[in-house]
C-alpha cells in the first residue's frame, strides 16, 4: 500500500494526558494501574483509570453527548495540539474530505447503565434522555460534531481490535480518493458492563495484570482515548508512516483465541505483505499481551516462531491495563513513541517469564533505534488486526 | 461529487416482518404480494445448535447474509464481511443494564460475550469457516449508508468480493424509547468489483448534503422503513428488486449522502 503520514497523534490513559506523560511513564517503567475504586460496588481487582473526568462535563454546546466516554474523548482531543492539526486539515481539504473513523467496544454504555440505575417511573431520567447517549455511534458522532467534520464517519466496534481496524478503513478511503485525511483512533471507558462482564468470564486478575508471566491470572481493565491524523505522505513528508495493516478472523470461538494463533498469523502476514516487509525487518512489536492465559500463550508462540532473536517485543498492558476498544490506538501511539524516543518499552510485571516466550521479549526497557514496528490487536469473536509503522527516513 | 466506486451486486438477501426472504420481497415490491405472517429468521448458515442459542440479532443478520451468499454462488469462507447495525442487540443491552443496576455479579457470561457489537460477525465467520477480514460498524441513523460505504471501499480497494449485512432489531425496555426501533429488519448484498452476467452494476459516489428521501415508493413497506436505522436502506433494496435503471440517495453521515446509480439488469 502507499504509506500514509501520521501528521499528529496523541493518547490519554492511566499513564496521564498526552504523549509526554506516556513517554515519561514508559521511560520509568512505572505502571498506571491502581486498586479498583470505580463504581459503587467495586470488584476486587486493578484498573487503569483516568483521573478527573467526573468533574469535567462537556461544554454546554455538547450537553446531549455528555458521558464519561465522550468526556475522555474530549480530554484526549485537547492534548498535543491535536485539535489544531484537525482544524488545519479541515481548512486545507474541506470538512467533507476529512473522515472520522473511531473504535470502541462499549462507547457510551456507561451512561445507559447509569440511566437504568436512576430510572424514573420506568423511563430513563430526563437529564439522560438523549438519543445521542444511548447508541454505539455516540463516540464518532460526538467527535465529528465537535470537530465540525462532514466526511465519512463510522464507529468500528469489533471488541479489542476496534481502534486498530480504523487505520485500515482510513487507508482504503484515502487510496480511493474519497477523502484526503482521516481522524482515526478510539475511546473506551471503565463501566460496569466490562468490569462485571469480564469478571463473569473469570478473565479479571485480582492483582495488577502480568502479561507473559508464567503465573499470570488475567486482565486488568483500563480506559483510554487516542487519536491520529492520517494524510498522504506528500502532505507531511517528515512524519512517521503508517505502512501496512492486516485483518483476519479466527473462525474459532467467540471468546477464546484460535489455539495455534491462525487468525493472528494471517493478520501478521497480511500486514507484512501490504507493507512490503519481512519479519526480519521488524525492530519492535507491541504485543496484544492481555495477560489472559490463552492470548499470551498463542501470541508468545507466534513471536517465537516468526521473528529473529533481536526483534524486540513487549506488551504494555502492565502499564495501562487492557483498554479494550481503545487498545489499538493507545498501543499504536506507544509504538510511535518507541520509534520517536528510540526506546523499547518494558514488558512489566512478568517476574517469571512464561516458558513459551522466546528471546525477543523485552522484559526491561531498552534504549535502541526502532525504525520499523508492529502493533497487534486481537478481539472477541476472533477479530484480529496488525498494524505496521515505519520512521520517515527508513523509506526516504 | 467524488469519483464513483463501480461494483456489481451478485447476491441479495432480506428479512423484514412478514417478508421471509428476497424472493418474497421482490413480490411485494412488484405489487404481487403484501407482507404476510411474521416468521422466525431462517439462519440456515448457522449449525443447528448455534441457531438454537444465538441471540436474535445474530439470527437476523445470518438469515439475510445466507440468502445473499447463496444467490451469489460464492463461498462465504472466502468473503470478507462488513456487518453494520445502528444499535446492535438491544435486547441484550437492555438485559445487561437491568442486571447491572440490580445484581451486577449475576451477569450471565454468555450474554456478555453475545453483547459485543461484532457478535454476528463472530458467529458468521465461525459458522462459515471464514478467515478473511470481518468488521462490525455503527453509525446511528446513517448506519446503512456508512456500512455500505465501508463494504464498497473494501471490495474496490482489495479487489475482491465482499459481503455486506445491515441489521437492527426492535428496541426493548428503557433503551427502546431512545432508539425508537419498533421492529426488526436485515438486508444483505454480495458486492463485487468484477462484472458478471446477471449482476447489477452500481456506481457509488459521495455527495455533500442529506437529501435522502424517507421511505421508498412501495407504500406497504413505508412502516418498515421507519422501524430502525438499517431499514433506512430499503429504497436501495427496492430499486435492486425492481432491476430497472434508477438513482438512489442513502445517507452515510451528517451532511453526506451516497449517490447510487443503478444499471438495468441484463
Question: What is the DSSP code string of A90-129?
Answer: HHHH-GGGEEEEEE-SSTTHHHHHHHHHT-BTTB--GGG-
**In this structure, is residue A191 part of a structural domain?**
yes
Q: Do B138 and A105 touch (CB under 8 A)?
A: no
Is the confidence at residue A88, as pLDDT, over 90?
Answer: yes
In angstroms, the Cα distances linking B66 to A61, B7, B25 are 44, 20, 15
Mean pLDDT over A275-298 rounds to 97
The share of chain B scoring above pLDDT 90, in percent, equals: 90
Is the confidence at residue B266, as pLDDT, over 60?
Answer: no
> Considering CB atoms only, which of A130, A134, A152 is closest to B253?
A152
Q: Which residues in A lie closer than 8 A to residue B130 (C-beta atoms)? A: 249, 251
Instruction: Chain B: give the shortest CA distance to residue A304, in Å.
Output: 22
Which is nearest to A156 in space by CA: A99, A95, A203, A77?
Answer: A99
**In this structure, is residue A24 part of a structural domain?**
yes
Provide the pLDDT for residue B265.
Answer: 60
- CB contact, 8 Å: A41 with chain B? yes
Query: Helix, strand or coil for residue A385?
Result: strand
**In this structure, is residue A38 part of a structural domain?**
yes
Provide the pLDDT for residue A396.
Answer: 43
In angstroms, the Cα distances linking B259 to A201, A370, B122 are 45, 45, 30
* Backbone torsions φ then ψ of A360, nearest 5 degrees: -70, -20
From its phi and psi, is residue B30 left (phi > 0), alpha (psi between -120 and 50) or beta? alpha
ipTM of predicted complex = 0.97
| Domains of chain B and any CATH numbers | 8-194 (3.40.47.10)
- CB contact, 8 Å: B162 with chain A? no
**In this structure, is residue A375 part of a structural domain?**
yes
The share of chain A scoring above pLDDT 70, in percent, equals: 99
CA A295, CA A167: separation in Å to the nearest integer?
Answer: 23
- CB contact, 8 Å: A131 with chain B? yes
Residues 316-375 on A with a CB inside 8 Å of B are none
Q: Which residues in A lie closer than 8 A to residue B136 (C-beta atoms)? A: 156-158, 381, 383
**In this structure, is residue A396 part of a structural domain?**
no
CA A346, CA A354: separation in Å to the nearest integer?
Answer: 15
Q: Is B18 exposed, middle or buried (0-12, 13-18, 19+ CB in 10 A)?
A: middle
Looking at the 3D structure of chain A, how many domains does it have? Answer: 1
Per-residue pLDDT tens for B187-217?
A: 999 999 999 998 999 999 999 999 866 666 7
Crossing angle for the helix pair A162-175 and B143-158, to the nearest 10 degrees: 70
Residues 276-315 on A with a CB inside 8 Å of B are none
CB A328 within 8 A of CB A250: no
Q: Which residues in B lie closer than 8 A to residue A151 (C-beta atoms)? A: 253, 256
Per-residue pLDDT tens for A107-152?
A: 999 999 999 999 999 999 999 999 999 999 999 999 999 999 999 9
Query: Helix, strand or coil for residue A181?
Result: strand
* Backbone torsions φ then ψ of B12, nearest 5 degrees: -140, 145
Q: Which residues in A lie closer than 8 A to residue B98 (C-beta atoms)? A: 116
Higher per-residue confidence, A39 vs B241: B241
CATH number at residue A314: 3.40.47.10
Spatial neighbors of B52 by CB under 8 A, at least 6 apart, are none
Q: Is the dihedral of CA A34, A35, A40, A42 positive or negative?
A: positive
CA A249, CA B80: separation in Å to the nearest integer?
Answer: 9
Is the confidence at residue A241, as pLDDT, over 60?
Answer: yes
pTM of the model: 0.98
Q: Which residues in A lie closer than 8 A to residue B79 (C-beta atoms)? A: none
Instruction: Chain A: give the shortest CA distance to residue B93, in Å.
Output: 9
CA A209, CA B135: separation in Å to the nearest integer?
Answer: 28
**In this structure, is residue A233 part of a structural domain?**
yes
- CB contact, 8 Å: A113 with chain B? yes
Q: What is the DSSP letter of A344?
A: E
**Which residues of A are catalytically annotated?**
160, 288, 322
For residue A384, give its domain range.
4-391
Residues 246-275 on A with a CB inside 8 Å of B are 247-255, 262-263, 266
- CB contact, 8 Å: B182 with chain A? no
Amino acid at each position: 500500500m502507499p504509506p500514509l503520514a501520521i501528521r499528529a497523534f496523541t493518547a490519554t490513559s492511566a499513564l496521564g494526558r498526552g504523549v509526554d506523560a506516556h513517554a515519561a511513564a514508559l521511560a520509568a517503567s512505572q505502571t498506571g494501574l491502581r486498586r479498583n475504586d470505580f463504581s459503587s460496588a467495586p470488584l476486587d481487582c486493578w484498573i487503569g483509570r483516568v483521573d478527573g473526568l467526573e468533574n469535567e462535563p462537556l461544554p454546554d454546546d455538547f450537553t446531549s453527548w455528555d458521558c464519561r466516554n465522550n468526556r475522555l474523548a474530549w480530554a484526549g482531543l485537547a492534548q498535543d495540539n491535536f485539535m489544531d492539526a484537525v482544524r488545519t486539515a479541515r481548512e486545507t481539504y474541506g470538512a467533507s474530505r476529512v473522515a472520522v473513523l473511531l473504535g470502541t467496544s462499549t462507547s457510551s454504555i456507561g451512561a445507559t447503565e447509569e440511566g437504568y440505575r436512576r430510572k424514573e417511573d420506568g423511563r430513563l431520567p430526563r437529564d439522560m434522555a438523549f438519543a445521542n447517549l444511548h447508541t454505539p455511534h455516540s463516540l464518532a458522532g460526538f467527535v465529528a460534531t465537535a470537530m465540525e467534520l462532514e466526511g465519512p464517519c463510522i464507529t468500528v466496534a469489533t471488541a479489542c481490535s476496534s481502534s486498530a481496524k480504523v487505520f485500515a478503513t482510513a487507508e482504503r478511503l484515502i487510496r480511493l480518493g474519497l477523502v484526503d485525511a482521516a481522524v482515526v483512533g478510539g475511546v473506551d471507558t471503565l463501566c460496569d458492563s466490562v468490569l462485571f462482564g469480564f469478571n463473569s468470564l473469570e478473565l479479571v486478575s485480582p492483582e495488577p495484570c502480568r502479561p507473559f508471566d508464567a503465573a499470570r491470572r488475567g486482565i486488568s481493565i483500563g480506559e483510554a482515548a487516542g487519536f491520529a491524523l492520517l494524510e498522504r505522505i506528500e502532505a507531511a513528508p517528515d512524519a512517521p508512516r503508517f505502512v501496512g495493516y492486516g485483518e483476519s478472523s479466527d473462525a474459532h470461538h467467540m471468546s477464546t483465541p484460535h489455539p495455534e494463533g491462525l487468525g493472528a498469523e494471517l493478520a501478521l502476514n497480511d500486514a507484512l505483505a501490504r507493507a512490503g516487509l519481512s519479519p526480519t525487518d521488524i525492530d519492535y512489536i507491541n504485543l496484544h499481551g492481555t495477560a489472559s492465559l490463552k492470548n499470551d500463550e498463542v501470541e508468545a508462540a507466534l513471536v517465537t516462531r516468526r521473528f529473529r532473536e533481536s526483534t524486540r517485543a513487549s506488551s504494555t498492558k502492565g502499564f495501562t491495563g487492557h483498554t479494550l476498544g481503545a487498545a489499538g490506538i493507545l498501543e499504536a501511539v506507544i509504538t510511535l513513541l518507541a520509534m520517536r524516543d528510540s526506546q523499547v518499552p518494558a514488558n512489566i510485571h512478568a517476574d517469571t517469564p512464561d516458558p513459551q516466550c522466546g528471546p525477543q521479549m523485552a522484559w526491561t526497557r531498552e534504549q535502541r533505534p526502532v525504525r520499523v514496528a508492529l502493533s497487534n490487536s486481537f478481539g472477541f469473536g476472533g477479530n484480529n488486526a496488525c498494524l505496521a509503522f515505519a520512521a520517515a527516513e527508513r523509506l526516504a | 461529487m467524488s469519483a464513483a466506486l463501480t461494483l456489481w451486486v451478485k447476491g441479495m438477501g432480506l428479512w423484514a416482518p412478514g417478508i421471509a426472504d428476497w424472493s418474497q420481497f421482490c413480490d411485494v415490491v412488484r405489487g404481487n404480494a403484501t407482507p404476510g405472517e411474521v416468521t422466525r429468521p431462517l439462519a440456515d448458515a448457522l449449525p443447528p445448535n448455534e441457531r438454537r442459542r444465538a441471540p436474535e440479532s445474530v439470527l437476523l443478520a445470518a438469515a439475510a447474509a445466507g440468502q445473499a451468499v447463496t444467490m451469489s454462488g460464492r463461498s462465504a469462507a472466502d468473503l470478507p464481511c462488513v456487518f453494520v447495525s445502528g444499535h446492535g442487540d438491544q435486547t441484550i443491552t437492555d438485559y445487561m443494564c437491568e442486571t447491572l443496576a440490580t445484581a451486577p455479579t449475576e451477569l450471565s457470561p454468555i450474554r456478555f460475550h453475545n453483547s459485543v457489537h461484532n457478535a454476528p460477525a463472530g458467529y458468521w465467520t465461525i459458522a462459515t469457516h471464514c478467515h478473511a477480514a470481518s468488521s462490525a460498524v455503527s453509525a446511528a441513523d446513517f448506519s446503512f449508508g456508512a456500512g455500505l460505504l465501508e463494504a464498497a471501499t473494501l471490495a474496490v480497494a482489495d479487489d475482491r468480493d465482499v459481503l455486506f449485512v445491515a441489521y437492527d432489531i426492535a428496541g426493548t425496555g428503557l433503551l427502546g424509547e431512545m432508539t425508537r426501533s419498533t421492529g426488526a429488519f436485515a438486508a444483505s448484498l454480495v458486492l463485487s468489483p468484477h462484472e458478471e452476467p446477471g449482476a447489477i452494476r452500481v456506481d457509488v459516489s459521495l455527495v455533500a448534503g442529506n437529501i435522502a428521501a424517507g421511505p421508498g415508493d412501495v407504500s406497504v413497506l413505508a412502516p418498515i422503513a421507519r422501524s430502525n436505522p438499517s431499514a433506512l436502506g430499503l429504497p436501495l433494496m427496492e430499486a435492486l428488486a425492481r432491476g430497472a435503471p434508477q438513482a438512489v440517495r442513502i445517507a452515510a453521515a451528517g451532511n453526506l449522502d451516497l449517490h447510487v446509480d443503478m444499471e438495468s439488469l441484463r
